[in-house]
Amino acid sequence: MPQSQIVYCSKEGMVGKKQLLQLAIVSLILTFLFAQFSFAGVNAAPHLNTGAGARSLGMAGAFTAVANDATSTVWNPAGLSVAKDLTFTLATERLDFDRKHNFMAAVKKLGEKSALGFSVVSFGVDGIEERLTKDDISAKSIFNYSMHAFALSYGRSLGSINLGTSLRILTDQFGVGTDEKVNGFGGVSIGLLGHLYSNTVSYGVVLKNLFGSINESSLPAVLDLGVAFSLLQRNMVTFAVDLEREFVDIEESTTSARIGIEYLIGNTFSIRGGTKATSDRLSLYGGFGVNVAGLQVDYAIKLADSAVHKLNDSGNIHLVSLSYSY
């Protein structure tokens, strides 16, 4: 009788191959969706895609495969299921031309495998005085503009694979003298976050703004792909790379690349840096964070862009976040 052959395969190898197969299947599904439907739109609300949180922006926004805190509601809702039991984040950012960008989010675990998140993003500028000539002493009227995005997010863990989704409602308020308000649907975001090789490698895929529209203008869909590597002992260094495609329309769709790094010192102090590149500009980011007993303060700076077109250039931008988790 022929002797039976027994083939041994390590458990880690089987898990890794299974996860890679799952990632390939998800990627094929996403590709099919984009082939079947047109998600292109006008750039009606570009500030919706600026990101949130000083930790993530200190890494240039390379956070799709890193998301594990309350900012997951913006970057990748699948990361909610790996956040801590209860997490709060407040962030404020001061942009050029006196524009303000604020963010607030809360995440609560629902058992061991799922979590619910809620976030509010506000963007606006107020107190712009209208003058008919440069010699006018008093303003003729005051112009105000504000945008709010309210998002409800849910994430669930399926072992080494995490899935998540977000629904977003928009309000635009603007006017001279009197305010006019427009409501819209911010779209659906669908995210995936997976881990390989004992969590030393993670990958993320997110589709954002699906079916979103405001003021009779469709929001452009956004596709984010990311991979992150945890290096050295105790994951002291995180290196992440993101690719983003924004489907504005056939002629104006843009692709950007983001690279970020975070170095953790003794679970208390962290240093971050990164760069974001598009076809016409290069942006540099940096920052640091301090964590004491679950209370974390983060700071990030975006240095002035190196832009092909001078009109695209802007000054330094500062961002501060306060987070608490346990």
- Give the pLDDT confidence of 245-261 residue by residue, as tens digits: 888 765 566 789 999 99
How many residues are given for the chain? Answer: 326
pLDDT of residue 254: 79
Strand, helix or coil for residue 14: helix
Strand, helix or coil for residue 18: helix
In the DSSP assignment, the letter for residue 303 is P
Contact 95, 124 (CB under 8 A): no
The pLDDT confidence band at residue 2, using thresholds 50, 70 and 90, is very low
Quote the tokens at residue 38. 């047109």
pLDDT, average across residues 34-58: 66
Is 80 exceeded by the pLDDT of residue 69?
yes
- Ranked by mean pLDDT, the top range of 118-122, 136-140, 173-177, 264-268 is 118-122
pLDDT of residue 59: 97
Which range, of 72-76, 183-187, 307-311, averages the lowest pLDDT? 307-311
Cα angle, residue 82 at apex, residues 49 and 12 outer, rounded to 5°: 115
The pLDDT confidence band at residue 37, using thresholds 50, 70 and 90, is very low
Pairing relationship of beta strands 221-231 and 217-218 according to DSSP bridges = unpaired
The pLDDT confidence band at residue 202, using thresholds 50, 70 and 90, is very high
Contact 286, 258 (CB under 8 A): no
Contact 68, 79 (CB under 8 A): yes
Contact 74, 121 (CB under 8 A): yes
Q: In 65-141, which ranges are continuous DSSP H helix?
A: 72-75
187: enclosing H helix or E strand:
strand 180-196
First to last CA, the chain: 62
Q: Give 255 or 156, the one with higher predicted confidence.
A: 156
The pLDDT confidence band at residue 133, using thresholds 50, 70 and 90, is low
Is 80 exceeded by the pLDDT of residue 286?
yes
The pLDDT confidence band at residue 190, using thresholds 50, 70 and 90, is very high
Which residues are within 8 A (CB) of 230 and not within 5 positions of it... i.e. 6 or more apart?
199, 200, 201, 202, 237, 238
Contact 277, 257 (CB under 8 A): yes
Task: HSE, CB side, 13 Å, CA atoms: give it for residue 235.
Answer: 13
Contact 282, 304 (CB under 8 A): no
Q: Give 33 or 256, the one with higher predicted confidence.
A: 256
Mean pLDDT of the chain: 80
pLDDT of residue 76: 95
pLDDT of residue 7: 39
Rounded to an integer, what distance in angstroms lies between the CA atom of residue 193 and that of residue 185? 25
Q: Is 223 exposed, middle or buried (0-12, 13-18, 19+ CB in 10 A)?
A: buried
Is 80 exceeded by the pLDDT of residue 312?
no
Which range, of 2-11, 126-135, 260-269, 281-290, averages the lowest pLDDT? 2-11
pLDDT of residue 317: 86
